[in-house]
Structure 1
Amino acid sequence: GIALRADMDAIPVQDMKDVSYKSKINGVMHACGHDAHTAIQIGSALILKNIESELNGKVRFIFQPAEETDGGAKDMIEYGALKDVQAVIALHVDENLNTGTIGFRKGVVNAASNPFKIEVKGKSAHGAHPENSIDAIYIA
């Protein structure tokens, strides 16, 4: 099977922003998007559960603590989080990208980057009702 991994730890920094999503706990914040990563992971789990019968194999959802140090991953591996997992997929948000877009580069980007292929399924509809379609070209 595969695993989707999201980090979920906060860091010991005071959130000084004056925005609605500001940390509610003094002295800690999700400075580089770990709260978004966790939300994306939960959303992915809900979506994949709805199409579970269409999946070939199992998907494990890993919520990694202590990502900013080396202890979180090590402990999870020792406790068996990667048992029967052939590949792990993760992401990181980027404030330089517009909402709804995905950034990518050809070749190695991170310390452990591997190529992969995705299959995009669209849905055709009559030209008078494009709202009933799924535009696979746009998604791809």
Structure 2
Amino acid sequence: MAHDRFRKFNTRDTYPDQDLDNDLCQVVRAGNIVFLRGQVGTDFDGNLVGGNDPGAQAEQAMTNVETLLGDAGAELGDICKITIYLTDPKNREPVYRAVGKRLKGVYPVSTGVVVSALAKAEWLMEIDVIAVIPDRRD
């Protein structure tokens, strides 16, 4: 197989409140390219972190990002593209502050999008990441 898949899950188990049965994973590594599933303010046990605080949700999402990149042999410095989805433009500053703190010196390209909603009402933001692992580390 040309891809490695990390943290496989089925939506039936992850979202028991919904009638779904999809096989997904949190991370796919294809060669040196790493694709992450969109990360929100929920930890890997399914607990929302930060409640109604978009900055705290972004902190948890970035903790997830760092962990998942590590699963695939990557690190935050390998991030090339980040897309941030916000449910309210007023949340931009606290979310971008939390993300920027973790990506200091990385300089990825970034796109910000305001959407009417995310998959769950309690999610105030979602972060989508693509990283490229260098052939060798300096």
**TM class, shorter-length:** under 0.3
TM-score (norm 1): 0.25
TM-score (norm 2): 0.26
